[in-house]
């Protein structure tokens, strides 16, 4: 083996090379070039406004839309791909809606606006610049919108919306429109069966209205995966009761519909049309009359059937006087009715005065309150209010001139999702009015602190925000120092919002963003700051550059660091102490918990958020006010029992996890073990200290890799793959059936192969069966890559080699023990190790000296590279295993979701969640200390559902009458007069100052002191300086950037009782 390959492996190069060229999106657009990534998409060039959506993709690009496909599915995506959308009004809200729809993949989006851009539009319209002022808004942003998705035709229109023009659209969205326009167009679209959505924002107030016609079919109301369960019984009676195996609840609700498969005896259930269920309990439900069916014998699976539902919408004109509301905040239950009148009053004010109410103008506010009372007085029925909330309507008037980007993100995400529902029939639509406000963002004394003078326009791009919060607030916002952790989908939205808000946009302000990932094609569907020509570039750098292009005043820096202990020399005391707030945009719990700990330590506010398909959440963490992110955790994911994976799978999830384990074991763990054996002199010592049978298993894998299965060329790799196929899918199954024949009966008299245990059958290899050949090719290519051998995927060649492979004939063996449950597996794996076997394996291994320069290539699983054979192996292995056990196979997309643990994602939810985060940031800037003003949020756009609650206060504890929470600590300066305190002085300090007797003291995982420590060791340590004790016990030198250490204490209080106390921040450097 050449040393070149070994050297390449040693440096652990990234799986993908990043771009280093300096081309920008603007340059590529001017040149009208199509990047290599675009060429691979197999499409015609996007429209520049001339064909009104005639460009249609030949198929859904799973590489681009994969995360969204997991949310919407192929059928919904295909229906969206035939839909032409009109978005009228290209201020911030209209732009946000159009952006989300283009990323989502509708057929075409036409953006309409007859007005020209003003400087104030830059408060939220991120595709306008100061050079755009005076130009038509739709024309200016059309080109930049078209860059978002080459599959979507993007057109601009600046004329009047006429009957002939509107006929070509399936959905019309109106923003920034008058009441007269809304009435005229709503009547028009009803005539032609066109769906209508009206959306508006005015400062911290917003409104969405939906009319999808008198008979709209919803194909899937929730988007959740259909519930499935294995059944163990069905009664034969007029109200037949189905019982499921009590390992997992059935997850059904009364009114759901189900069908059945694989039922033995009562075969009438198999493939039946959806039967309505009544839930009896978590493991039982009834399905109606089964008295005329056959007797249930055994087996079977129940599967939920999604039944279409038809909903009827009232026309806009009728719904104005007879509205239905979606509640967005149950703490404001009465507010939708008030705002319904308030928004009508606002439209009437504009009609009468030809302008919006001026910011904080008392006369205009009183005028609008009077109009609201006038409108309310003419109403009848439930829509009429007992009294108009004058304070609320006045605040609406004060906010009317406001234009703030976070509200556009929130409402733009909601509205775009409603458009997708209208196109696809996927998810429950809004019925029919939604009002949302965020008045809690205002300064607590806004009525006295804000006036017409401080909120007046100052000829600034932030005038829309100043109109709501005032000029002093804007200055504070610009001076914020933010740390954005992650530049993925949510991170991109955050950076866009911060740039528009002006956060960190002064010389005193700063925005630092870090992300160590590079941009991949699948990111382009929702991480909207990236373009096709950015693929393979660093996320953080590209995202920050794009945000700065939106607002050149953005001040900050992009890093490419992973947050963790290894980068605490970068994100050290000096860095954190300067921060105003940390904003997480992470995709894993471990990193979130790490950042949470750092924020607690440095007492910094943390804004946390996440998405899962149409679901999203926001959490606010405030020093001394709320609990931390880590204070409460989701329950752990349900794990698959080992024996289920090894011998008794009953679902495709089991076979996919087994396939993933195969990949990790064969192509990562074994090469890692081999390389450690060859390079680590202490390898054998570590192996012999392993638990149970691990020493034998590890040494055997190294021996097979270096001796038995080491290939000399690619033909050997093919032969190995063929033999491995035989072992996995034929021989092991034959041995299992030898131990437990199909007719096996348990000691209780029940069939062994029943319930969750599916009786398997061995497979006979046939190179003409595509799945069989797929496995051999993928396995051989990965084997070759592990040994740095050049492979080839030519099917004819592979078949030619296969014909020469000698496959050993298998004969089942007596005495082979197969574990039936995890208890047996644990017992057998923890038995004593046979030293003779270890000696024999060790003797059979070649010496590391004889293999000088040889290294294996350990493969990191990468799901999104379709050329690396990783998913080829997973899909083939899983589906062959599924065939063994008669489990329905999974396609490549579904296999990638499960095996790759992909988080489904869609741009609409991301935009909404980021908007909610930024609304909470306003409150932090305002200095709110009242916990009731902050909002933790959970949303589900599919239902739709919006739930907000105030954050939870931190748990309080006490010692010696002193109350404390997780935010409190002992702060101790360990250096006095240039001398650091000793361990004895440290302990005496707590005894004297806090009346606490330290019984144990630790730093990290190192125990520095304990009451049961030997006298000699105690005597030695008590006289040592604290940092010396830490270095001696941990055997690690304290790094130069560390100024303070964290100590954990166990103490007895004044009464000698064991008591919980805060941790200690011990400062030893200044």
Q: Please write down the HEC assignment for all residues of 889-922.
A: CCCHHHHHHHHCCCCCCCHHHHHHHHHHHHHHHH
Which backbone phi and psi does 401 adopt, to 5 degrees?
A: -85, -5
The model's confidence at residue 889, banded by pLDDT at 50, 70 and 90, is very high
The pLDDT, as a whole number, for residue 356 is 98
Taking residue 32's Cβ as centre, other Cβ atoms within 10 Å add up to 8
**Section 698-711 average pLDDT:** 96
Backbone angles phi, psi at 527, to 5 degrees: -95, 85
* CA–CA distance, 948 with 618 (Å, rounded to integer): 9
Q: What mean pLDDT do residues 1028-1037 have?
A: 96
Residue 389's Cβ-side half-sphere holds a number of Cα atoms within 13 Å equal to 17
Average pLDDT over residues 620-648: 92
C-beta separation of 15 from 858 below 8 A: no
CB atoms within 10 A of CB 986: 23
Strands 979-980 and 975-976: antiparallel
pLDDT band of residue 128 (cuts 50, 70, 90) is: very high
Question: Omega before 1046 cis (within 30°)?
Answer: no
**pLDDT at site 48:** 31
Separation between Cα atoms, residue 459 and residue 193, nearest integer Å: 44
What's the mean pLDDT in 935-941?
Answer: 98
For residue 851, pLDDT over 50 is answered with yes
Contact in structure between 211 and 190 (CB atoms under 8 Å): yes
Which stretches does DSSP call E strand in 716-865?
A: none
Residue-level pLDDT at 830: 67
- pLDDT digits 0-9 by tens, 600-613: 999 999 999 999 99
Residue 383's contacts (CB-CB under 8 Å, 6 or more residues apart) are: 321, 322, 323, 337, 340
8 A C-beta contact, residue 332 and residue 452: no
Q: How far apart are CA 412 and CA 394, in angstroms?
A: 25
Q: Is 441 a catalytic residue?
A: no
Indicate whether this model's pTM tops 0.85. yes
When the pLDDT of each residue in the chain is averaged and rounded to a whole number, the result is: 93
pLDDT higher than threshold 70 for residue 40? no
Q: Are 341 and 373 in contact (CB under 8 A)?
A: no
| 1047 touches 1066 (CB < 8 A) | yes
**383-410: buried (b, 16+ CB within 10 Å) or exposed (e) per residue?**
eebeebbeebbbbbbbbbbbbbbbbbbb
pLDDT at site 822: 81
Judge contact between 49 and 142, C-beta under 8 A: yes
- Report whether 413 contacts 915 (CB < 8 A): yes
CA dihedral 397, 398, 401, 402 (to 10 degrees): -120
- pLDDT of amino acid 831: 67
Residue 11 reports pLDDT greater than 80: no
Q: Each residue of 378-414: pLDDT tens digit? A: 999 999 999 999 999 999 999 999 999 999 999 999 9
Q: Tally Cβ neighbours within 10 Å of residue 732.
A: 18
pLDDT at 6: 37
What's the rounded mean pLDDT across residues 1034-1039? 95
Q: In 11-136, which residue ranges form alpha helices assigned H by DSSP?
A: 25-31, 36-40, 62-80, 92-104
Helix (H) / strand (E) element for 301: namely strand 301-305
Q: Which range (91-100, 620-629, 685-694) has the least confidence?
A: 685-694
Which whole number is the average pLDDT over 435-458? 96
Confidence of residue 53 (pLDDT cuts 50, 70, 90): very low
- Residues of the chain with pLDDT > 90, as a percent, come to 89
pLDDT, tens digit, for every residue of 907-920? 999 999 999 999 99
**Phi and psi at residue 291, to the nearest 5°:** -65, -25
Closest CA to 468 of 480, 450, 453: 450
- Give phi and psi for 938, each to the nearest 5: -135, 130
Q: What is the pLDDT of residues 672-696, one digit of tens each?
A: 999 999 999 999 989 888 888 889 9
pLDDT, average across residues 947-967: 97
pLDDT of residue 16 exceeding 50, the answer is: no
End-to-end CA distance of the chain: 54
457 has pLDDT over 90: yes
pLDDT digits (tens, 9 = 90+) for 244-254: 998 789 999 99
DSSP string, 851-893: GTT----PPPP-TT-TTSSHHHHHHHHHHHHHHHTTPPP--HH
Determine the pLDDT at residue 58: 47
pLDDT range class, residue 32, cuts 50, 70, 90:
very low
Is pLDDT of 348 > 90?
A: yes
**Radius of gyration of the chain measured on its C-alpha atoms:** 33
Give residue 22's pLDDT.
Answer: 36
pLDDT value, residue 17: 38
| Secondary structure of residue 982 in the 3-state scheme | strand
What are the tens digits of pLDDT across the range 249-293?
999 999 999 999 999 999 999 999 999 999 999 999 999 999 999
HEC string of 340-404 equals HHHHHHHHHHHHHHCCCCCCCCHHHHHHHHHHHHHHHHHCCHHHCCCCCCHHHHHHHHHHCCCCC
Residue 8 has what pLDDT? 32
Reported confidence tier of residue 832, pLDDT bands at 50, 70, 90: confident
Q: Look at residue 824 in the predicted model and tell me its pLDDT.
A: 80
If one counts every other C-beta atom within 10 angstroms of the C-beta of residue 1008, the result is: 23
Alpha carbons 795 and 117: distance in angstroms, whole number: 60
* CA dihedral (1012, 1016, 1022, 1027) positive or negative: negative
Write the DSSP string, 656-695: HHHHHHHHHIIIIIHHHHHHHHHH-TTHHHHHHTSSTTHH
Q: What is the percent of the chain where pLDDT is above 70?
A: 94
CB count, 10 Å around CB of 1006? 15
Catalytic residue among 232, 423, 643, 1050: 643
pLDDT above 80 (res 51)? no
Cβ proximity of 801 and 663 under 8 Å: no
117: confidence class by pLDDT, cuts 50, 70, 90: very high
């Amino acid at each position: 083996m050449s040393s070149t390959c070994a050297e390449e492996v040693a440096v652990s190069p990234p799986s993908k090379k990043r771009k280093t060229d300096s081309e920008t999106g603007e340059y590529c657009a001017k040149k009208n070039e199509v990047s290599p990534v675009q060429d691979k998409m197999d499409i015609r060039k996007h429209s520049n406004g001339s064909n009104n959506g005639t460009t249609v993709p030949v198929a859904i690009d799973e590489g681009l839309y994969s995360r969204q496909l997991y949310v919407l599915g192929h059928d919904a995506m295909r229906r969206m791909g035939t839909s032409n959308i009109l978005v009228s009004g290209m201020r911030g809200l209209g732009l946000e809606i159009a952006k989300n729809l283009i990323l989502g993949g509708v057929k075409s989006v036409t953006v309409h606006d007859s007005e020209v851009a003003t400087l104030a539009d830059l408060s939220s319209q991120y595709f306008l610049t100061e050079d755009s002022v005076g130009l038509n808004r739709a024309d200016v942003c059309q080109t930049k919108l078209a860059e978002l998705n080459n599959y979507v035709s993007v057109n601009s229109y600046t004329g009047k919306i006429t009957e002939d023009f509107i006929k070509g659209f399936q959905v019309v969205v109106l923003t920034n429109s008058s009441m007269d326009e809304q009435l005229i167009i709503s009547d028009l679209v009803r005539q032609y069966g066109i769906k209508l959505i009206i959306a508006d924002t005015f400062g911290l107030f917003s409104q969405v209205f939906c009319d999808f016609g008198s008979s709209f079919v919803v194909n899937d109301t929730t988007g959740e995966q259909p519930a499935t369960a294995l059944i163990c019984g069905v009664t034969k009676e007029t109200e037949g009761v189905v019982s499921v195996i009590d390992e997992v609840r059935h997850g059904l609700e009364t009114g759901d519909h189900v069908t059945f498969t694989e039922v033995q005896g009562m075969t009438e259930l198999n493939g039946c049309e959806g039967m309505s269920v009544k839930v009896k309990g978590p493991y039982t439900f009834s399905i109606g009359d089964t008295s005329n069916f056959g007797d249930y014998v055994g087996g079977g699976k129940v599967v939920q059937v999604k039944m279409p539902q038809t909903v009827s919408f009232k026309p806009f004109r009728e719904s104005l006087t007879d509205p239905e509301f979606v509640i967005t905040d149950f703490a404001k239950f009465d507010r939708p009715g008030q705002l319904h009148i308030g928004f009508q009053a606002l439209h009437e004010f504009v009609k009468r005065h030809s302008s919006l109410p001026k910011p904080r103008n008392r006369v205009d506010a009183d005028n609008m309150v009077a109009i609201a009372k006038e409108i309310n007085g003419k109403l009848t029925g439930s829509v009429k209010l007992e009294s108009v909330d004058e304070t609320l309507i006045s605040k609406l008037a004060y906010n009317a001139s406001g234009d703030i980007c976070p509200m556009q993100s929130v409402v733009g995400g909601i509205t775009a999702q409603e458009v997708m529902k209208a196109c696809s029939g996927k998810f429950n639509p809004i019925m029919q009015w939604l009002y949302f406000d965020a008045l809690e963002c205002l300064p607590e004394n806004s009525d006295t602190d804000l006036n017409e003078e401080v909120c007046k326009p100052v000829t600034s791009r932030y005038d829309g925000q100043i109109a709501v919060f005032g000029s002093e607030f804007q200055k504070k916002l610009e001076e914020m120092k933010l740390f954005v952790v992650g530049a993925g989908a949510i991170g991109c939205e955050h950076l866009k919002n911060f740039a528009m808000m002006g956060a960190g946009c002064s010389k005193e302000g700063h925005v630092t963003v870090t992300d160590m990932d590079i941009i991949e094609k699948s990111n382009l569907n929702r991480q909207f700051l990236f373009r096709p020509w950015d693929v393979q570039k660093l996320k953080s750098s590209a995202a920050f550059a794009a945000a700065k292009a939106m607002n050149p005043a953005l001040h900050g820096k992009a890093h490419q660091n992973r947050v963790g202990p290894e980068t605490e020399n970068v994100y050290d005391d000096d860095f954190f102490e300067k921060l105003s707030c940390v904003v997480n945009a992470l995709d894993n719990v471990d990193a979130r918990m790490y950042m949470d700990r750092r924020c607690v330590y440095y007492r910094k506010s943390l804004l946390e958020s996440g998405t899962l398909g149409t679901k999203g959440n926001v959490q606010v963490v405030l020093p001394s006010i709320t609990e931390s992110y880590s204070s409460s955790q989701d329950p752990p994911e349900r794990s698959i029992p080992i024996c289920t994976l090894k011998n008794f799978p009953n679902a495709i999830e089991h076979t996919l996890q087994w396939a993933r384990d195969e990949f990790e074991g064969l192509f990562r763990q074994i090469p890692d073990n081999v390389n450690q054996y060859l390079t680590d002199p202490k390898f054998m010592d570590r192996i012999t200290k392993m638990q149970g049978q691990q020493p034998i298993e590890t040494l055997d894998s190294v021996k097979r890799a270096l001796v038995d299965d080491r290939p000399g060329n690619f033909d050997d790799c093919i032969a190995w793959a063929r033999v491995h196929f035989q072992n996995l899918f034929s021989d092991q199954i034959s041995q299992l059936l030898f131990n437990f024949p199909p007719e096996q009966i348990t000691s209780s008299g029940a069939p062994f192969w029943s319930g969750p245990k599916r009786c398997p059958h061995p497979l006979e290899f046939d190179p003409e069966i595509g799945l069989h050949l797929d496995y051999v090719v993928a396995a051989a290519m990965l084997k070759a890559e592990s040994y740095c051998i050049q492979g080839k995927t030519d099917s004819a060649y592979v078949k030619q080699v296969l014909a020469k492979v000698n496959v050993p004939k298998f004969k089942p063996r007596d005495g082979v023990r197969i574990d039936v449950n995890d208890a047996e597996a644990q017992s057998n794996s923890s038995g004593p190790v046979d030293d003779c076997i270890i000696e024999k394996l060790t003797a059979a291994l070649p010496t590391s000296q004889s293999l000088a320069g040889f290294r294996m290539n350990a493969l990191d699983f990468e799901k999104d590279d379709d050329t690396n054979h990783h998913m080829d192996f997973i899909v083939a292995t899983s589906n062959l295993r599924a065939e063994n056990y008669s489990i329905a196979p999974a396609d490549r997309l579904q296999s990638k979701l499960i095996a790759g643990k992909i988080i489904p994602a869609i741009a609409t939810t991301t935009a909404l969640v980021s908007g909610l985060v930024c609304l909470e940031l306003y409150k932090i800037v305002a200095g709110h200390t009242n916990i009731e003003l902050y909002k933790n949020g959970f949303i589900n756009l599919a239902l739709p559902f919006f739930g907000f609650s105030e954050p939870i206060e931190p748990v309080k504890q006490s010692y010696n009458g002193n109350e404390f929470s997780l935010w409190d600590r002992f702060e101790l300066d360990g250096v006095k007069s240039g001398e650091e305190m000793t361990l004895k002085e440290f302990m005496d300090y707590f005894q004297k100052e806090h009346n606490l007797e330290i019984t144990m003291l630790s730093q990290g995982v190192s125990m520095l002191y304990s009451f049961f420590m030997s006298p000699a060791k105690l005597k030695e340590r008590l006289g040592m300086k604290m940092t010396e004790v830490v270095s001696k016990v941990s055997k690690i030198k304290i790094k130069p950037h560390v100024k303070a250490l964290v100590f954990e204490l166990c103490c007895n209080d004044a009464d000698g009782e064991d008591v919980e106390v805060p941790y200690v921040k011990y400062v030893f450097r200044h």
